[in-house]
């Protein structure tokens, strides 16, 4: 998962690619817009506030990519 890379620019780029719709992503949009990393303290505080939407979106996105690339890899 990309969460260990939350402090890198790669993480900022990843969240900029996600379609973050809804008010639960208001706190993420500034980071996505500037492709900036998110501090771990910020992520932890948002997850403790019962807002797991970012983690859920990242999980689904990475899971989808793994399935697609694994299928392509198997057919080569």
Residue 12 confidence (pLDDT) above 60: yes
* Over residues 23-43, mean pLDDT: 87
Global pTM reads 0.60
What average pLDDT is seen over the chain? 79
Give the start-to-end residue ranges of the domains of the chain. Answer: 3-74
Question: How much of the chain, in percent, has pLDDT values that exceed 70?
Answer: 83
Rounded to whole angstroms, the Cα distance separating 71 from 67 reads 6
- Name the maximum alpha-carbon separation found in the chain: 44
Q: Which long-range contacts (CB under 8 A, 24 or more apart) does 8-12 make?
A: 8/37, 9/35, 9/36, 9/37, 11/37, 11/38, 12/36, 12/37, 12/38
Instruction: Give pLDDT, residue 1.
Output: 46
């Amino acid at each position: 998962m990309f969460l260990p890379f939350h402090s890198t620019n790669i993480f900022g780029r990843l969240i900029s690619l996600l379609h973050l719709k809804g008010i639960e992503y208001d706190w993420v949009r500034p980071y996505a817009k500037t492709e900036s990393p998110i501090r771990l303290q910020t992520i932890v505080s948002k997850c403790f506030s019962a807002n797991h939407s970012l983690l859920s979106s990242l999980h689904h996105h990475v899971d989808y990519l793994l399935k697609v690339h694994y299928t392509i890899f198997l057919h080569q």
